[in-house]
Structure 1
Amino acid sequence: MRRGIRLTVDSAGTVTAAAPGAAPEPGDLVLAGVVFPAAANAHSHAFHRVLRGRTHTAGDFWSWREQMYAAAGSLTPELYEQLATAVFAEMVVSGYTSVAEFHYVHHAPDGSPYPEHGMETALARAAVAAGIRLTLLDTCYLAGGFGSGGSGVPLEPRQQRFGDADADAWLDRFASLQAAVAASFDPEQVSLGAALHSVRAVPEAALARIAGRLPAGIPLHIHLSEQPQENAGCLAATGLTPTGLLHRHGLLSRRLSAVHATHLTDADLALLGEAGATAVFCPTTEADLADGLGRAAELRNAGVALALGSDQHAVVDPWQEMRALEYGERLRTGKRGTFTPAELHFAASDAGAAAQGRAAPGLEPGKTCDLMAVNPHSVRTAGSDPGQLALTATAADVTAVVVGGRLRAENGRHATLGDPAVLLRAALAAVDSASPIPEGTRRR
């Protein structure tokens, strides 16, 4: 643990020099507490924040999904921009400075397109307003489930707004969106990545087409083996596990991030490790949805990078995600200390940034000056060894968040947007007024 580091940052927000033991100079931004690289949120569905506090008491993933569809059905570009701005502001004050937004609410509820990529640019504007770096993962979603002979079941009416006509239509729309984003947004602020929703939502023939046409170097994410039912359906339809199916079509590579990766075979582990892929764990969401415990240590040992995401935002707190990754392994294996605090911070920061195709945050020259400071003397952290704050701190202990060398949040308040709770209350009230979710589950 080093003390009194003075960082020099260039106009791009990159650290150019680090001087330990230096005194602050006039005009310097001084961060109090213990400073860490900021967190990079490797998996987010911003609109799922609507469900926090009213979907946790019963059911399973599939019953939860019904409520998620209802929330998705209420969104317009204007409403989504308001909601996402609030959600992204909540992320920033909690210590996140970048986010991979796994986005599939593309069109109007009847499936007709919005002009000029209305939903996508709404998310981009929300990120700019919140000052968070956005990797917009435009998601291919073509089918409502596995069909016979490698085909997919047609989308249900409530899924129409997620879909495109076929793989080529999605690829064409992706290319158009790529040009629109490049023309309107700073790539350090907003960049474009790709996602396949899941193998149950992208038929095998479409996987082959996408593998051949998706531009090289684009980050590619997918929900992978989150549920045993997905594995069983894939085996029945293709004779392969979801991981094996991706391997068949050359989609396993270092650019791939497998989200959840909960129910993997030994062969799946080996394939992901050989590819140098990333597994994005979302421990608080996986616990809330009773998904199960993934084989985190075995993935790491196989050569798979581990990153962390907040997914459905039942919790927006990188510290709790770090802690839950280690605690999940303790519950699964009966052993403590599978992941060191340094490994937990790497998963929350470096690996999450790499999954977005971004440079890692940190305090060393060449790193992006994205930082979070934490109070080591709070009721939660008092007495903690600074090196073990990953196991005691929460987002409530974050005293400052810096993005690209600029202060973006301090003591729970966003520097330009104020208290995210105020934004969230307004956004959630607007969603509730438009939402078809049954009255008995609405927020009061």
Structure 2
Amino acid sequence: MTTFPGLANCHSHVFHRALRGRAQPGGERGGDTFWGWRDRMYALAAVLDPDLLHDLAVATYAEMRLAGIGVVGEFHYLHHGPDGTPYDDPNATGEALIAAAREVGLRICLLDTAYLEVTEHVHRRFADTDGEAWAGRVNDLAARHAGADDVVVGAAIHSVRAVPADQLATVAGALPDAPLHVHVSEQPAENEWCLATSGLTPVALLAEAGVWTPRTTAVHATHLTDADVILLGDATAYACFCPTTEAELADGVGPSVRLREAGARLTLGSDSNTVIDVFAEARAVEMHERLVTGRRGAWGAAKLTEAATRTGYASLGFTPDLAETDTVTLRDSVRLAGVDEPLWAATASDVEPPSDLPYDAAEVTAMLRRAVDALWERV
């Protein structure tokens, strides 16, 4: 047996798990670009309710625990009913996700995401009326869970397209001591739109609003200028890379080494949950860098382990030492035979199931199948 610190999954959209293997190019549900994939994702978002979201989250979070993940950052924007009407409890969907994480013993940073621009019908269920309305709702949710040792309520800006520039500072300041995450520069089209409408890159626009601080995480950060890299580094912000999703959606390869050298701190996420395997995400950061540069060794095992564990915990508002409490045990498998550094060879399937998980792998498999099938039946 080999022990490893608990793994941090710093960026998850749990309902995207239902897209795994069902939104591929050339298929009925697919699309050959990010935007075609997004159409299928929106179709799922349109039919979810708190109960089905809870069921899918229980199964997906159980899969995360089987993969050795001790904490998840859930980037949550499915706030309201399909027509935008709030539920009787305006935080019903957020509470459904928190309850699901607790059911399987997973620590959660619920990143309640501001989404204020409605340009398509499905956006109505994402959107609060303005930044102040969003801030009031998220502060209520944070107050309910103040002092909990297994829940952190943080804030998120969905993107510069979803939150108007004059609302960014309101969102950034709503929970001043909590983690703040933001999708930024995932696709070139995002940068082009931002430059055309503001004359600034997304990173620079967010900097003007005071978004970048040591508590902020830039998610994806794929298409950055040199000036963007300096802004994130000077803020000692986190940069959350999600390599399996960024490859799945043809996003590109972000400048991980330049960000690190500038002072930013790497974390890792499963994002669309096409793969739930932090070992795979960590290795992919190095392997993608090799493909881009033609050189090996930009990221050693120690740096990647730190990103996958303690740095990830800190970015989600949990004490980094909790990674030691959430220790992962790796079985002596064929993949690890003769290996002296497990990070380079281990997969999620090498993780010994945690003793406190209330479901075994077969039960989790059945739960996932039921929840995914039930969701697609509604589409």
CA distance in 1, matches of 2:276, 2:360: 20
Cα displacement (A) at 1:361: 4.3
* 2:352 paired with 1:399: yes
Give the match for residue 23 of structure 1.
none
* 2:18 paired with 1:74: no
* 2:58 paired with 1:94: no
Q: 2:260 aligns with which of 281, 297, 300?
A: 300
Q: 1:176 aligns with which of 113, 128, 140?
A: 140
The within-5 A match list for 1:263-274 is: 263-274=223-234
Percent of counterpart pairs with the same letter?
47
Give the match for residue 250 of structure 1.
210
Cα displacement (A) at 1:45: 0.3
Give the match for residue 352 of structure 1.
312
Give the match for residue 38 of structure 1.
6
Say which SS state the counterpart of residue 315 (structure 1) adopts. Answer: coil
* 2:344 paired with 1:370: no
- Provide Cα deviations, 1:333-375, integer angstroms capped at 9, x if missing partner: 111111111111111111111110111246xxxx651111112
Cα displacement (A) at 1:80: 0.6
Aligned partner letter, 1:209: T
* 2:176 paired with 1:216: yes
Give the match for residue 101 of structure 2.
127
CA distance in 2, matches of 1:129, 1:53: 26
Cα displacement (A) at 1:246: 1.0
Give the match for residue 430 of structure 1.
374
Aligned partner letter, 2:48: L
RMSD: 1.5
CA distance in 1, matches of 2:48, 2:58: 14
Would you say how many aligned residue pairs link Structure 1 and Structure 2? Answer: 373
Give the match for residue 15 of structure 1.
none
Cα displacement (A) at 1:60: 1.0
Q: Does structure 1 conserve the Cα–Cα contact (< 8 Å) formed by 2:246 and 2:253?
A: yes
CA distance in 1, matches of 2:343, 2:113: 32
CA distance in 2, matches of 1:162, 1:210: 15
- Provide Cα deviations, 1:40-88, integer angstroms capped at 9, x if missing partner: 1100000000000011335111110000000111111111110000000
User: Which consecutive residues of structure 2, in runs of 5 or more, have no partner in the other structure?
Assistant: 26-30
Q: 1:136 aligns with which of 107, 110, 120?
A: 110
CA distance in 1, matches of 2:369, 2:270: 20
The within-5 A match list for 1:251-330 is: 251-330=211-290
Cα displacement (A) at 1:400: 4.1
Cα displacement (A) at 1:432: 2.0
Say which SS state the counterpart of residue 97 (structure 1) adopts. Answer: strand
Give the match for residue 130 of structure 2.
166
Give the match for residue 338 of structure 1.
298
Structure 1 residues 417 and 314, CA gap change in structure 2 (3 angstroms): closer
CA distance in 1, matches of 2:101, 2:95: 10
CA distance in 1, matches of 2:142, 2:37: 32
CA distance in 1, matches of 2:211, 2:176: 11
Q: What TM-score, normalized to structure 1?
A: 0.81
CA distance in 1, matches of 2:233, 2:12: 24
Q: Does structure 2 conserve the Cα–Cα contact (< 8 Å) formed by 1:138 and 1:193?
A: yes
